[in-house]
């Protein structure tokens, strides 16, 4: 069959038109997919920039200047947000946490607080933790006393009372402690004795389950020596970035995070912990000190 020059020219023109139509669409889709990827470590937050868009996004400050922010693998960091609950008012714009008890149904508004916030007896707190890798989450609490000594370490997460004991973490998944459907869905700050000055909360993310830990239906006491060994191995040279968003209310995206993954546009965690020169196959051990007001 004979193919004329005019026919060949028409084919070339059609191919060019098709490429022009398809290529931008694929580029947009790739960009969109990248925007949907949840990333916590972004040098735009902490590095110098003259770009107006980047400087607007940069909201973290380095809280540990002695720990370098170089050589940090993006998939090793851990995000933590501390929430304090207060009774919701009619004009509040944030999402409510509905609590049912024997007397009545109450609405509480979770608000972000700084780890330096001084807390009162009776304050109701929640903690959300976000990792950017697959693994397992463990949370330990210890009382701290005025002379600096610590009480016994208790594993407060996981328990079978919270999400059935499932402590797996994944990219974009927010683990809330306690869970929204726990009863009650918050921790209540209470001093055990007059010189009880703080709660020391340790968050551990590991690539595989910790050996010897059997998940039960309540908090369990751990051996001092074992916790000390974990901290020595996985908790050295841990840095922290802080975001100035105290008072920011719980959002719908954060509330719905138990059923759907967070996207890049969702609110970032209040705190980001990092440890230079480790890989996603190594655990990380970070600590928070929640102080009581004198």
Rounded to an integer, what distance in angstroms lies between the CA atom of residue 124 and that of residue 32?
38
Q: Are 54 and 47 in contact (CB under 8 A)?
A: no
Asked whether the CA dihedral 160, 163, 166, 169 is positive or negative, the reply is: negative
What is residue 140's predicted lDDT score, i.e. its pLDDT?
A: 98
- Total-model pTM: 0.83
For 106-120, letters b (16+ CB in 10 Å) and e give eebbbbbbbbeeebe
pLDDT, mean of residues 213-241: 95
pLDDT, mean of residues 218-229: 96
What is residue 59's predicted lDDT score, i.e. its pLDDT?
A: 79
pLDDT higher than 80, residue 52: no
Q: Are 94 and 110 in contact (CB under 8 A)?
A: yes
Average pLDDT, the chain: 84
Per-residue pLDDT tens digits for 1-19:
444 444 433 444 444 434 3
pLDDT higher than 90, residue 260: no
H or E element in which residue 148 lies: none
253: its two tokens: 């995206």
Rounded to an integer, what distance in angstroms lies between the CA atom of residue 79 and that of residue 82?
10
What is residue 7's predicted lDDT score, i.e. its pLDDT?
A: 41
Percent of the chain with pLDDT over 90: 64
Alpha-helix runs per DSSP H in the chain: 5-36, 43-46, 52-57, 224-234, 252-255
What is residue 56's predicted lDDT score, i.e. its pLDDT?
A: 46
178: nearest Cα among 102, 251, 124: 124
What is residue 8's predicted lDDT score, i.e. its pLDDT?
A: 38
Rounded to an integer, what distance in angstroms lies between the CA atom of residue 25 and that of residue 32?
10
DSSP state of 138: E
Q: Are 237 and 276 in contact (CB under 8 A)?
A: yes
Task: Provide the pLDDT confidence category of residue 166 given band limits of 50, 70 and 90.
Answer: very high
What is residue 236's predicted lDDT score, i.e. its pLDDT?
A: 92
pLDDT, mean of residues 229-238: 96
Per-residue pLDDT tens digits for 54-84:
444 557 899 999 999 999 999 999 999 999 9
Q: Are 164 and 108 in contact (CB under 8 A)?
A: no
Q: Are 151 and 195 in contact (CB under 8 A)?
A: no
pLDDT higher than 50, residue 178: yes
Per-residue pLDDT tens digits for 118-132:
999 999 999 999 999
pLDDT higher than 80, residue 53: no
């Amino acid at each position: 069959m004979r193919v004329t020059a005019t026919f060949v020219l028409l084919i070339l023109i059609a191919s060019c038109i098709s490429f022009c139509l398809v290529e931008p669409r694929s580029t947009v889709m790739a960009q969109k997919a990248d925007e949907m990827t949840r990333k916590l470590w972004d040098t735009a937050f902490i590095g110098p920039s003259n770009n107006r868009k980047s400087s607007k996004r940069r909201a973290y400050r380095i809280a540990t200047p002695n720990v370098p922010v170089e050589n940090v693998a993006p998939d090793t960091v851990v995000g933590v947000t501390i929430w304090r609950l207060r009774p919701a008012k009619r004009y509040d714009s944030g999402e409510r946490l509905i609590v049912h008890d024997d007397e009545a149904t109450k609405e509480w508004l979770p608000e972000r607080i700084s780890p330096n916030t001084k807390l009162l007896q009776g304050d109701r707190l929640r903690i959300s933790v976000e990792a950017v890798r697959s693994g397992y989450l463990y949370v330990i609490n210890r009382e701290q006393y005025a002379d600096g000594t610590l009480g016994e370490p208790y594993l407060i997460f996981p328990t079978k009372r919270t999400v059935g004991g499932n402590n797996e973490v994944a990219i974009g998944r927010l683990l809330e402690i306690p869970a929204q459907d726990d009863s009650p869905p918050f921790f209540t700050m209470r001093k055990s004795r007059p010189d009880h000055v703080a709660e020391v909360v340790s968050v551990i993310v590991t690539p595989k389950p910790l050996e010897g830990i059997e998940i039960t239906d309540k908090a369990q006491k751990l051996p001092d020596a074992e916790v000390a060994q974990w901290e020595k191995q996985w908790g050295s040279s841990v840095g922290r970035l802080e975001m100035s968003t105290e008072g920011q209310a719980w959002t719908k995206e954060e509330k719905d995070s138990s059923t759907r993954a967070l996207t890049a546009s969702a609110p970032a965690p209040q705190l980001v912990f990092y440890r230079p020169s480790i890989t996603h196959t190594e655990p990380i051990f970070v600590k928070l000190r929640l102080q009581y007001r004198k």
